[in-house]
Structures are given as C-alpha cells and as structure tokens.
Amino acid sequence: MEGPLGKIYSLPISLLLLAGALMSAFLFYSMMKYAEAGNLIMVILLAIAVSIVAFVIGQAIKYQHLREL
C-alpha cells in the first residue's frame, strides 16, 4: 500500500495498538483538561480526533489481517 498511511499500515500490530493507546490516552487527557476549562469547541475537536485515531488503527489492523490471508 502506498500513500501517507502506507508506513502506518505496515507496522506490527502490537506497535500499532501501543501507539493508538498512547495517542488516545493523551487526547482523552487533553479533552478532560479542556472540559474542566469549559472549552466546548476543543472538547468536540478532541473527541473527533480520538475517533479518527481509532478508525486509522482499526483499518491498519484490518489491512494486516487481510494481507495475511
């Protein structure tokens, strides 16, 4: 697979899960910090960012699983 996500899709699954968990934890932490400050726009944007990270990690795992078959 080529393109900007090609390198991400070729990483080992364990590394993908670790990177996804770390990014999600940081984004959730930031989201809670902005929620305490009352910044609704940043909370919504960070929630969207968490979903994008989860989607990309899920697609990468799916791609690797289908590649193995």
Sign of CA dihedral 39, 42, 47, 50: negative
Residue 4 has what pLDDT? Answer: 73
| pTM of structure | 0.82
Q: Quick check: is 50 in a domain?
A: yes
**Domain contains 63:** yes
Residues in the chain: 69
Asked if residue 20 belongs to a domain, the reply is yes
The one-letter amino acid code at 40 reads L
Per-residue pLDDT of the chain (69 residues; tens, 9 = 90+): 567 777 777 888 899 899 999 999 999 999 999 999 999 999 999 999 999 999 999 998 898 888 877
pLDDT at 20: 92
Q: What is the pLDDT at residue 2? A: 66
Domain range for 10: 6-68
* Cα–Cα dist 24/57, whole Å: 11
Domain annotation covers residue 56: yes
Structurally, the chain folds into a number of domains equal to 1
1 in any annotated domain: no
pLDDT of residue 10: 81
